[in-house]
Amino acid sequence: MALHPSYAPNFYSIEDILATQERIPCKFLGNVPDMGHLNPSTLEKDLAAGTVLELPVWLVQELSLGRHSIVATELPKIYKESYREILKADACAVDLHKFNLYFYELGKHIKHFDRKGDVHDILLHTFKTRFRQIMDLADHSVSDPTVQERLETLEARLFSDAYDARTKLNAWLVESGAILEAANMVVNHKKRKRMNLDIIM
Amino acid sequence: MNPDEAEFLGEKQFISIIPTFNSGVVHLISGDVGPFRASLPTRVPLWMAINLKQQQKCKIQHPEWMNVDQLERIKEDEKKDKFFTKMPSEQYMIEAKLLLGCASDDVPKADDIRTIIKDIWDIRMAKLRSSVNNVLKSADSYAEFKNLTVMEINSIRPILPHALDQIYRMKINKHQGAQSTTLSTPFRTSTSFSNLS
């Protein structure tokens, strides 16, 4: 029954730590002395201005802060135009797991670098669109392990919570001797659900 | 919350029984029950009724709403209405399950009632799911759910607050991001509801 505090910035949140570990591309605006070892492709002692490196989010946040930002950030490709178009087309068909394990968490950090707010919009859009799918998956308890492999971390957690609740509820419904159940005729009559939905929608 | 816990809470509901034994008043923490006089109806908590019934010490008088005509009416209303209709009892599902489970001989047409209640439950669950989805899609600042019963609320409890919480987080960051370059924004310290279930 313990509450688990899971959201950023939480010192103890493993997910937050892992999400901020993701790397994003950024460009150095000025020379940085003695940091040449960050760039494996050169042997120079100093890091030259204009170098493009992939740095973890936690570092970038500090570097790009304040008046004298040292780096200029770019969006990781999964948040760029072409990928956003894919998500807009049909977010449900996308394997978010392959995009990034921490698509939403990372997005929340990334969008501070995105002035136009596109990232913000696509995060919301994706989540809302895919929510129905998660709910459906959880309710029609398919014991198919591949289902979860297509979900992002946050979605996977939602899914398993919903799935647990669903299983418990189903167990409760059938546990007593007398099961409340629809008549056989009704169960076999496949159109029934669709008809009800029409009324509701 | 577990469904079993919801059931436990639902068992406090009073119900009328006709005892077949004589006994004085029983003092319980929740209040006094009885006295019991054979064949005189008295009101007891549901859990006690079930227990006495299992010992064959009483007949349970089924709640008024538990008859085919009324339930059919409710079912039709539920089908027609876009919103949730008011149910005769906050715990209709729990009462129905317990009573039909152990005292089906005291309820006339128990089988029919069982089917109708399951139909009503299914319709309401389908409604619930689509409205939850609509709420999230539109994600307005608030939504109103009326006339939901305990079990139904419980069934969406783990997923809905959590999902709304996440949307809230995604939204709130926009303003902070747009305002300034500062990243060390004071996020709302929030906790997940997921493990409350």
- pLDDT tens digit string along B51-64? 888 888 888 888 88
Question: CA-based diameter of chain B, in Å?
Answer: 79
Cβ contact B155–A166 (<8 Å): yes
Question: What residues make up the domain containing B166?
Answer: 160-196
Nearest to B120 by CA among B165, B76, B156: B76
Residue A193 neighbours by CB distance under 10 Å: 12
Q: Are residues B137 and B176 located together in one domain of the fold? A: no
Collapsed DSSP state (helix, strand, coil) of residue A5:
coil
Which H or E element spans position B45? Answer: strand B42-45
Question: What residues make up the domain containing A120?
Answer: 76-201
CATH number, residue A86: 1.20.58.2050
Residue A111 resides in a domain: yes
- pLDDT tens digit string along A41-56? 777 777 777 778 888 8
Cβ contact B173–A112 (<8 Å): yes
The stretches in chain A having pLDDT less than 50 are 1-5, 177-178, 200-201
Residue A68 resides in a domain: no
Q: Are residues B147 and B93 located together in one domain of the fold? A: yes
Q: Are residues B44 and B131 located together in one domain of the fold? A: yes
Distance between CA atoms of residues B154 and A70, nearest Å: 51
- pLDDT tens digit string along B121-148? 888 888 888 888 887 777 666 777 777 8
Q: At what angle do helices A153-175 and B160-179 cross, to 10 degrees?
A: 160
Would you tell me which residues 155-184 of chain B have a C-beta closer than 8 angstroms to some C-beta of chain A? 155, 157-159, 162-163, 166-167, 169-171, 173-174, 176-178, 181-184
Q: Are residues B132 and B180 located together in one domain of the fold? A: no
Residue A52 resides in a domain: no
Contact B77, B126 (CB under 8 A): no
Q: Are residues B141 and B168 located together in one domain of the fold? A: no
Q: Report yes or no: A183 at the B interface, CB cutoff 8 Å.
A: yes
Cβ contact A183–B115 (<8 Å): yes
Q: Which residue of A has its CA nearest to B173?
A: A108
Q: How many distinct structural domains can be found in chain B?
A: 2
Would you tell me which residues 100-129 of chain B have a C-beta closer than 8 angstroms to some C-beta of chain A? 100-102, 104, 110, 114-115, 117-119, 121-123, 126-127, 129
Token pair 């167990």 is found at A171
**Neighboring chain B residues of A124 at a CB cutoff of 8 Å:** 139, 167, 170-171
Distance between CA atoms of residues A93 and B136, nearest Å: 19
When pLDDT is cut at 50, 70 and 90, the band that residue B189 belongs to is very low
Q: How many distinct structural domains can be found in chain A?
A: 1
Question: CA-based diameter of chain A, in Å?
Answer: 80
- pLDDT tens digit string along B30-81? 888 878 888 888 888 888 888 888 888 888 888 888 888 888 888 888 888 8
Residue A92 resides in a domain: yes
